[in-house]
Amino acid sequence: MTFLAAARNDVDAAVAFHGADTEKYLGEARNISAPVLMHLAGEDEFMPAQARHAITATLSEMPIAQVFTYEGCQHAFARHNGLHFNAKAAAMANRRTHTFLTAMLQTYPKPGVASSGTGSIC
């Protein structure tokens, strides 16, 4: 899970689509030091509304986190050719992700840190 990777590791940025079960680990949110972007489906059959609200409430208190809910969308709305693919929502999520990663990683590699050619993105 992206949320746990960000909470338990030193990453530069984290982007999560469909953060099912994240609500079980919200107590670890205080450990996140990197910017986080999360995309949630408003009608995700694998994430009860109560869980989605808990995730949104917790992360909205963190200035380094952004959460977007795509109302009317079901789980895997951004999976091309998937059963619940929603082209409009997927394009919006992809644009937001591109903008976020461009802004957050524009200085990668960090000064004084050797690069292995891969960013620490989850």
pLDDT higher than 70, residue 110: no
Is 115 contained in some domain? no
Count the domains in the chain: 1
Residue 66 is part of a domain; what is its CATH number?
A: 3.40.50.1820
Say if 14 falls within a structural domain.
Answer: yes
Q: pTM, whole model, 2 decimals?
A: 0.84
Residue-wise pLDDT for 4-54, tens only, equals: 999 999 999 999 998 889 999 999 999 999 999 999 999 999 999 999 999
pLDDT digits over 78-106, tens only?
Answer: 999 999 999 999 999 999 999 999 999 88
Annotation marks residue 44 as catalytic:
yes
Full domain range(s) for residue 54: 2-105
* Residue 12 annotated to the active site: no
Catalytic residue, chosen from 12, 21, 75, 80, is 75
Catalytic residue among 12, 44, 84, 98: 44
Q: Is residue 69 part of a domain?
A: yes
pLDDT at 18: 87
DSSP code per residue over 6-67? HHHS--SBEEEES-TTGGGGGGGGGG--S-EEEEEETT-TTS-HHHHHHHHHHHHT-TTEEE
